[in-house]
Amino acid sequence: MTLDVDRIRKDFPILGTEMRGRPLTYLDSGASAQKPKAVIDAMSDFYSARYANIHRGVYQLSADATRDYEAVRGKVARFIGAKDEREIVFVRNATEAINLVARTWGEVNVGEGDEIVLTWMEHHANIVPWQMLADRKGATIRVAEIDDDGVLDVHHLASLLGPRTKLLAVTHVSNALGTINPVAELVALAKEHGVTTLVDGAQAVPHQPVDVDAIGADFYAFSGHKVFGPSGAGVLHGRYPLLDAMPPFLGGGDMIEVVSFDGTTFAPVPQKFEAGTPDIASVIGFGAAIDYLDGIGMDAIAAYEHELLEYATAGLDTVPGLRIVGRAKEKAAVLSFVLEDAHPHDIGTCLDGEGVAIRAGHHCAQPLMQRVGVPATARASLAFYNTREDIDRLVDALVKTAELFS
């Protein structure tokens, strides 16, 4: 499937700019994606002509802002296949979504001696909140193995699920390796053991169609800024009965029903989890991002990015001394690599000189770096606005870098 990428690139103002006197080659969408003009305009229009706080005002402007904000909830629900828009909780980002679950569901459902199962390829956002919970409760973290290609060992994961397991928290797509995990299968396995599930979808939602209903997880978390929306708006999808039974997260305005000094009752889901004034403009911008993606189609995006991944993999394999880290068959367009004799930060700096923006470091996945036996990698992460020319520039810059360090 082909996309009209030349036209698409014109929708992203920043892609027409230069870096270090060369056309910007942006290959760090895994960290945060660039924004189409539709998103920038939606936010600017909102601030220019339609801004007011939501949920409280009786005047027209506030009622309209409330309607626009709430309409995005419905859009998100449709976009990720959620059956009930009350299951969409707006948060700042995936990190906050996971912390919300750890601090609310975790607080009442995880106790001493219980176990939480993670995998070696988790982002810190899907490790640290569970470690903090385990420390508070006297619970234990168990970690499912991966193989040298970066593929999850499903048999090992299954062997960790037992009577003490309370939660399986697993990434849909690894930000450092690109591995796509069989999350529907993992959720089904967990369900057989009565284990609650959380899927970290931060790297999946921007790149492939996601159907939370088909996956069946209890919780699904992601960030709007990686889905071509603004920073400040993220999503926790939770199954309604769980959300309804959970205690609130933050307390304050907007999340209550009645407050008195004799006691307070809480608003229904999802308002119960949305205390205080949210990032209204970012949610509006995120809605525009979803409209924009709907206009292209996530199936077409996934197919295009897969072609680009194959092209990039073949290109990187021609660079002397380069080793790709993460070679799962089911893989998103993320290429982590190391270069003999060059530290990933040096690679990043050399590429920056050529106008090529990549990421270098541990990618907030230090346990994974230990597991694959490197302190850090360089990482190119692609999106549907990247082209074969971008990949050619990356490969040329890497060949130069390799020569410099040989």
Among all residues, which ones are annotated catalytic? Answer: 364
Segment contacting ligand PMP by CB under 6 A, of 123-131, 139-147, 189-197, 371-379: 123-131
223 binds ligand PMP (CB under 6 A): yes
Going from the C-alpha of 43 to that of each of 70, 177, 227, 359, the distances in angstroms are: 15, 33, 15, 28
3-state class (DSSP) for residue 67: helix
- For residues 356 and 343, what is the distance between their CA atoms, to the nearest angstrom? 17
Shortest distance (Å) from residue 257 CB to ligand PMP = 30
Ramachandran angles phi, psi of 357, nearest 5°: -95, 110
Q: For 333, which DSSP code?
A: S
The answer to the question of residue 125 lying near ligand PMP (CB under 6 A) is: yes
Among residue numbers 53 through 112, which ones bind ligand PMP (CB under 6 A)? 93-95
**Residue number, 120 or 315, with CB nearest to ligand PMP:** 120
**Nearest distance, CB of residue 392 and ligand PMP, angstroms:** 26
Q: Which is nearer to ligand PMP, 115 or 200 (CB)?
A: 200
279 is an interface residue for ligand PMP by CB under 6 A:
no
Six-digit token pair at 119?
């995998």
Count residues contacting ligand PMP (CB under 6 A)?
13
Q: How far is the CB of 279 from ligand PMP (least distance, A)?
A: 13
Minimum CB distance to ligand PMP, residue 312 (Å): 19
User: DSSP letters of 342-382?
Assistant: B-HHHHHHHHHHTTEE-EEE-TT-HHHHHHHT-S-EEEEE-
Q: How many residues does the chain have?
A: 406
Beta strand pairing call for 165-171 and 196-200: parallel
Amino acid of residue 94: A
Residue 202 binds ligand PMP, judged by CB under 6 A: yes
Taking contact as CB under 6 A, which single stretch among the options 119-127, 272-280, 302-310, 327-335 is the one that binds ligand PMP?
119-127
CA distances (Å), origin 84, targets 185, 221, 381, 382: 23, 16, 32, 32
199 binds ligand PMP (CB under 6 A): no
Binding site residues, ligand PMP, CB under 6 A: 93-95, 123, 125-126, 171, 175, 200, 202-203, 223, 364
